[in-house]
Each structure stands twice: as C-alpha cells, then as structure tokens.
Amino acid sequence: MNINRLIFTIEDCLNTLSRFSVASSFVEYCDLRTVIGLDRQDRERRPWLNSPYIAATKRGEYLSVFEVSGAFREMDEASDQTGPGSLESLITSMSDSLNTAYKNSGHKISFVFERDPDMGKEEIEDMVAPQKRSLANTGIQLQDVVDEKVTTLSPWLVRERCWLAIWSGPDLISNSDRTAHDELVRRLAERVPKARFAQSPWQWT
C-alpha cells in the first residue's frame, strides 16, 4: 500500500472524527494558522531569540503573546487611589504606555489567566533550581534538604500565570504595502506545489 495513501486515509479518519467530537475540523478548531519566522532585523535587535514569537491567525492578524511575570513591588492598599503604588496608578501607567504604542486602530488586547494546581511541584522545582546548581558547584551535601522542601511545599503551591495577547490586524497595513504584498504572494503561489494537508504559506504572511 502506498504510504501517502495510508497517510491520507488516517487524516481523513481523524478529520471525520473531529467533526463529531468538536463540531469542526481540527484545522478550523484553532484560530492560529502559522508562525512568522525570525528575520534579519530580529536577529540583529534581539540576538537572544531562538524561536519565532509572532503567530498568524485565520483572519490574517499577527498575534504576539507576552508573559506578565508580576510587579516589582506589592500594591499599597492604604495609599491614595491615585498615589504611587496603588492599583489605579499601575493601570493608568500601563494604559498610557499601551496608548502610545498602539494608538492606531487595528489592535486588540486581551489578558489570559492560567491556574493549574497540578503544576505546583514543577513550579517549586524551577524556584529551587539555582540552589541545586550552587550545591552541585560547591560540593555541599544538602541536596536532601532541598528535596524535602520541594516535597513539603508542593501540595500547597498552585501555578498561576498571566499572559498578555496582542492582535495586530491587516488594517494597519497601508494600501501600497498591501498591493505590493499581494503581488508577491501571487508570484509565490504560482511556484508552490499543491499539497493536500499542508499550510498555505502565502495566505497568512
């Protein structure tokens, strides 16, 4: 049996099964379509990046996701509502920064909160990883103390993370740039071979 025919048969079965399980095909279930690879400007300005950080959606939007690690200090509940250190002042400062960077229409911003009680042990292991490296470098035999800390604290820890998702729509592109891009896509599409289940690289670039 031809291997391509076998692969197509398996994919057809999975696609049919997905229509009954999630009321849509696997491709349509996710709004993301592909990622934008790192270019020369990324490598020059952000040499520490090893993987792409921009995704493309079905509607042609660019999506970037940032992890919000937290604040440098705790909120002062007793301070004035508009004073430094209050939640309102933090929101105002963040709003001013975002309004400056995303002043043009075409952007969407959302916050995603993650809470996973099952990942508490992994979270504490990440926190004590520097201690384990220091013990290994110095040769101090205190590994069992650190392991005991992980075992003791794991049932009481919950992983909580916050993500900032930013969409940039096609409306931000000028008409001249869009016309030049469409012409480039047309030339690329003429040379791309047909692929049944492959991505459409010219559709979401």
Amino acid at 52: P
Q: Which residues contact 99 (CB under 8 A, 6 or more apart)?
A: none
For the stretch 125-134, pLDDT in tens is 888 888 888 8
More confident residue, 117 or 78: 117
- Confidence band, pLDDT 50/70/90 cuts, at residue 195: low
Adjacent-strand bridge partners of 109: 166
Percent of the chain past pLDDT 70, that is, above it, reads: 77
For the stretch 39-58, pLDDT in tens is 888 888 888 888 788 888 87
Adjacent-strand bridge partners of 159: 116
- Alpha carbons 109 and 55: distance in angstroms, whole number: 15
For the stretch 138-151, pLDDT in tens is 888 888 888 888 88
- Alpha carbons 171 and 174: distance in angstroms, whole number: 8
CB atoms within 10 A of CB 148: 10
Q: pLDDT at position 29, please?
A: 60
More confident residue, 174 or 28: 174
Q: pLDDT at position 103, please?
A: 77
- pLDDT mean over 10-19: 70
3-state DSSP of the chain: CCHHHHHHHHHHHHHHHHHHHCCCCHHHHCCEEEEECCCHHHHHHCCCCCCCCEEEECCCCEEEEEEECCCCCCCCCCCCCCCCCCHHHHHHHHHHHHHHHCCCCCEEEEEEEEEEHHHHHHHHHHHHHHHHHHHHHHCCCCHHHHHHHHHHHHHHCCEEEEEEEEEECHHHCCHHHHHHHHHHHHHHHHHCCCCCCCCCCCCCC
More confident residue, 80 or 178: 178
For the stretch 181-193, pLDDT in tens is 788 878 877 777 7
